[in-house]
Structure 1
Amino acid sequence: MHVLKTHYHPDVTSLENKSIFTRLATRGIAMQGTRILLLYTERYEDYSLPGGGLEQDEDQIEGMMRELSEETGATAINNIQVFGAYEEYRPWHKNDYEVQHMISYCYTCNINTTLGIARMESYEIKNGMKAMWVNIHEAIAHNKKTIATSDKKGMSIERETFLLERIAEGII
């Protein structure tokens, strides 16, 4: 899969002599014209693509379908196509590692426009995550405003905004 971007968090100045933990994740991209299915997270005041970590030995497409269904209630996921990967290096302060190397495999797909019941994890509920169809340009503008003005933003907002901009380029 083609790497769209490799991003280094500002706190990761070198990988030399660092212990690195690799995490593989997937992201689902479902569109209806200029509307895209996203997760809004109240805690971080941002929009993100549905997705998350792959389980041990899980197939990337199966993982994307599982995450998309769990987080949004999406059904009838079909016409899955490779979009690209986003690679990032971030600080990591758990399990004896200093840096997390995360690779997000992104896929476009079609789904039923009516969403079923999401099965979010407790931390996702606690963070105020909600699935919704949003105009992609409004989501990009919102995330850019959050980047510029909010002290609540999380580490993933730059990845999500970059991906949303790349997706928007494809529909213009």
Structure 2
Amino acid sequence: MKQLFEIDLKDYKETDAVFRRPSARAIIIKNDKLALVYSKKEKYYKFPGGGIHDDEDKKEALIREVREEVGLVVIPESIREYGSVLRRQKSTVKDGEIFEQENYYYFCDVEDRAVEQDLDAYEDEAGFVLKIVDIDEAIATNAAYSSEDYFNEIMIKRDRRMLEMVKQELGWK
């Protein structure tokens, strides 16, 4: 998969241990809009998806994460690679550790039905809901986003840049 861009804050020591947490993220188009996760608490949009377990391949993780976060059922044969984004920064969880996340983005289609979300505690606390939204609204919302949680801020900057790239890729005005 081609790397689209890299976010490397270089705010760590090169000798620090690396914690890798790859993820799979979905680009879902519905009627010229995007299906995104919206955080009611933090007021941002992100692409549905999340961590890839050790025993999963990327597409299995994508299907599972989309179902858990937004209750949409991915059609497996519709999954198409878009590209990846590498993120590296000092861990906010453990001193002397680098957080490294390769985010694999896929275009995919979903079934017309939805199922119940299965959110992790932090996702539930953030008030994750599915929103079918105009891409410009998502870009503007994320551009205005700021947080005391620097980790979240970097994630939202990543997804804002991805939203801009997807808009250009699709030729949306």
- Length-normalised TM-score, structure 2: 0.88
Superposed CA deviations along residues 36-91 of structure 1, whole A, max 9, x for unmatched, are: 01011133321000000011131100100110111111125241100100101122
Assess if the C-alpha contact under 8 Å between 2:63 and 2:73 holds in 1: no
**For residues 6 and 85 of structure 2, what CA distance do their matches in structure 1 show?**
6
Instruction: Provide the residue aligned with 1:127 in structure 2.
Output: 126
CA shift for structure 1 position 5: 0.6
Q: How many Å separate the matches in 1 of 2:110 and 2:83?
A: 19
Paired residue secondary structure (2:11):
coil
Aligned to 2:102: 103
Residue aligning to 1:157: 156
Count of residues paired in the alignment: 168
Task: Please state how far the C-alpha of 1:95 moved relative to its aligned partner.
Answer: 5.1
Contact 2:23–2:104 (8 Å) recurs in 1: yes
- 2:141 matches 1:142: yes
Unaligned runs of 5+ in 1: none
Q: 1:152 to 1:22 in 2, by over 3 A?
A: closer
Q: Residues of 1 paired with 2:160 and 2:16: CA distance? A: 28
CA 1:81–1:88 in 2, change beyond 3 Å: closer, same or farther? same
Unaligned 5+ runs, structure 2 = none
Post-superposition, which runs of at least 4 consecutive aligned residues in structure 1 deviate over 4 A? Answer: 150-153
Equivalences for residues 37-52 of structure 1 within 5 A: 37-52=35-50
Amino acid at match of 1:3: Q
- Counterpart code for 1:59: D
After superposition, the CA RMSD in angstroms is: 1.9
1-side partners of 2:41 and 2:107: how far apart?
Answer: 26
Give 1:16 deviation, angstroms.
1.9
